[in-house]
Structure 1
Amino acid sequence: MDPVTPGDLLALATQSCVNAAKLLHEVRVDVAAKGTFDQVSSADLEVEAFLRQALVDGAPGSAVVGEELGSASARITWYVDPIDGTRNFVRGLPLSCISVAAAVDGSLVAGCVLDPFRDELFTAAVGVPFEVRSSGLTITPGVSPRPLVLTDIPLPGSPYRGEMELLAELMAVADVRRVYVTALSLAWVAAGRADAAANLGIHPWDVAAGSVLVRAAGGEFVEVGRDGFVAGRGEVVSWLAERLEGIVT
C-alpha cells in the first residue's frame, strides 16, 4: 500500500469515529452477558463492524485489533473499542466513548476518542498536536491542592489483592472518581480535567488511543505489569505506579 502519515491515519480514524457515532442514534440496543462482570450490546457489535470496514477500506492492507470481533496484525494496525463503558451505555449513563488508535510497525502513532453524549472529540498523532473539539459547554480546568485521579479500582472479580487498601490510601491524598470508561478517562487527563488515571485489568484497545492523547499533551503513560497502567502529570503518577506494582507483583 502507499505510504501514509500519522496525520492521514488520524484523519481516517476521526472520520470513522464520527460516522460510527451516528449509528448509535439508529441501532436497537440488546444486551447479553459477557462473563460474570461484563456485558456486550448489539451496539458494540454493529459499531465495531462498521469501524472495521471503514478503517480497512480507507487503509487497504491494514488490520484491526478489536474488543468484540477478533484481532489481526499488519504493518498498520488499528485498535478499536466500539463502546468503551458498555455497562454505563446500556443503563443510559452518559459515560462511554468510541476509541480508535493506529499503530505503524508496532508503534502507536495516532489516537481518537469520541464522546457521543457530549459530542466531544479528542485527537492527536505524531506530528499533530492534541486537540479537543466540543459543541457543548467547556470549562477551563482549574488548580486544586489535591490531585484528581480517575480509576475503576477496585474492580469486581479482580484477581489482585490489596485494591481496597490502595483505594483507601489514594482517597487520603487525592480526589477520586470511578467512571468505568478508561479511554475517556485518559482523554480527560490529556485535556487537563484530571491529573491522573490508573486501572488494572485493561486490554490494548482500552488504552491505545488514550495513551497517544496523554503523551501528545505532555503527560506520562506508564505500563504496570501485563494489564495495568498509570497516566498523567505530577508526583501522583510515580506514587500510583509504585503502589500498583506492589499489587500486581
Structure 2
Amino acid sequence: MGVVTPPDLLSLAAQSCVDAAGLLRDIHVDVSSKGTFDQVSSADVEVEAFLRSVLVAGAPGSAVVGEELGSATASVTWYVDPIDGTRNFVRGLPLSCISVAAAVDGTLVAGCVLDPFRDELFTAAVGVPFAVQSSGLVITPGVSPRPLVLTDIPLPGSPYTGEMELLTDLLALADVRRVYSTALSLAWVAAGRADAAANIGVFPWDTAAGAVLVREAGGEFRSIGTNAFAAGRGEIVDWLAARVEGIVS
C-alpha cells in the first residue's frame, strides 16, 4: 500500500472531499425514506460511491465503512459520510457536510470535514495540526459567559428516556444550538465556534472525522456506549458526558 502515513491519508481524504463537493453542483436530487425518521437522497449514494472509488484507488487494499453502501475493514479503513445532515440538505438548508476519516489498525489518525455551502475545509491528522481553509467570511471566535453547546438531543423517535430532561437542564447552563449535522458540529467545536457537542444515536461515520479534528485541536472526544458521545473543552464536557451516559447506559 503506497499511502499509509497520517499526513498522506489526510491529503487523500481532503482532496477526495473537494472533488466530491464538485459533484453536488450537478447532481439531481431524489429523496426517499430510510426508516420512519430518516431520509436518504440520490446525492448521498452517488457521492459515497465516488468517495469509495477514489479513496480505495489512492490507498490500495484499504476498506470503507460508509453510511449508504455497506462496510468492510482492513489495516487502513475509511469512514465516509457523503452528506452528513441529509435532512437539512434535501430542504435546501446550508447545514450539511462531507466527512471522511482514516483509521490505521483501528486507531483514527486523520479526518476532514468539508462544508460545501461555505467552502470551508476542516482538516487534522496525527502530526498535522488542526486547520481551517475558507474562502468566505471568517470571524475570530469570541468568549461568552455561558458555554455554547451543539446538540440534537432529543431526536424524534429515540428509544431512550431522559433526553428532554437533559435538554431542559442544559438550557439552564448553556446556550444551545441544534445543527442536525454531527460532523459539522464537531468541526465547529474544533474551530472554537462552540464549546462542546453531544449526541445520541450516532454511527462511526458520523463522528470519526470530527473526533480527530477535536482531539488535534486540543479538545477531548469521549465515546459513550455504542452510539453516543460528548466532546469539546471545559467543565461542560464532564457534565454532558455524565448525563448522556446516564441515558444510554
Report the TM-score range of the alignment, normalised by the length of the smaller protein: over 0.9
- Cross-structure match for 2:228: 228
- Cross-structure match for 1:209: 209
Aligned positions, number: 249
Matched-pair contact (CA < 8 Å) for 2:146–2:173: yes
- Cross-structure match for 1:97: 97
Residue 204 of structure 1 deviates from its aligned partner by 0.1
Unmatched tracts of structure 2, length 5 or more: none
* 1:241 and 2:241 are equivalent in the alignment: yes
**Partner Cα separation in structure 2 for residue 229 and residue 114 of structure 1:** 21
TM-score by length of 1: 0.99
- Cross-structure match for 1:21: 21
Residue 75 of structure 1 deviates from its aligned partner by 0.3
- Cross-structure match for 2:195: 195
Q: For residue 209 of structure 2, what is the amino acid of its counterpart?
A: A
Q: Secondary structure of the equivalent of 1:242?
A: helix
Q: How does 1:54-65 map to 2 (within 5 A)?
A: 54-65=54-65
Q: Secondary structure of the equivalent of 1:149?
A: strand
Q: How does 1:105-184 map to 2 (within 5 A)?
A: 105-184=105-184
Instruction: Give deviations 1:186-223, integer Å, cap 9, x for gaps.
Output: 00000000000000000000000000000000000011
Matched-pair contact (CA < 8 Å) for 2:34–2:40: yes
Q: Secondary structure of the equivalent of 1:15?
A: helix
Residue 225 of structure 1 deviates from its aligned partner by 1.3
* 1:41 and 2:49 are equivalent in the alignment: no
Q: Secondary structure of the equivalent of 2:209?
A: helix
**Partner Cα separation in structure 1 for residue 26 and residue 3 of structure 2:** 35
Residue 4 of structure 1 deviates from its aligned partner by 2.1
RMSD: 0.6
Residue 245 of structure 1 deviates from its aligned partner by 1.1
Percent identity between the two aligned chains: 81
**Partner Cα separation in structure 1 for residue 197 and residue 228 of structure 2:** 11
**Partner Cα separation in structure 2 for residue 193 and residue 127 of structure 1:** 23
Residue 226 of structure 1 deviates from its aligned partner by 1.2
- Cross-structure match for 2:9: 9
Instruction: Give deviations 1:61-84, integer Å, cap 9, x for gaps.
Output: 000000000000000000000000
**Partner Cα separation in structure 2 for residue 76 and residue 4 of structure 1:** 8
Change (3 A) 1:245 1:51: same
**Partner Cα separation in structure 2 for residue 121 and residue 41 of structure 1:** 23
Q: Secondary structure of the equivalent of 2:111?
A: strand
Residue 3 of structure 1 deviates from its aligned partner by 5.8
Residue 2 of structure 1 deviates from its aligned partner by 3.6
- Cross-structure match for 1:66: 66
**Partner Cα separation in structure 1 for residue 181 and residue 106 of structure 2:** 25
**Partner Cα separation in structure 2 for residue 4 and residue 166 of structure 1:** 42
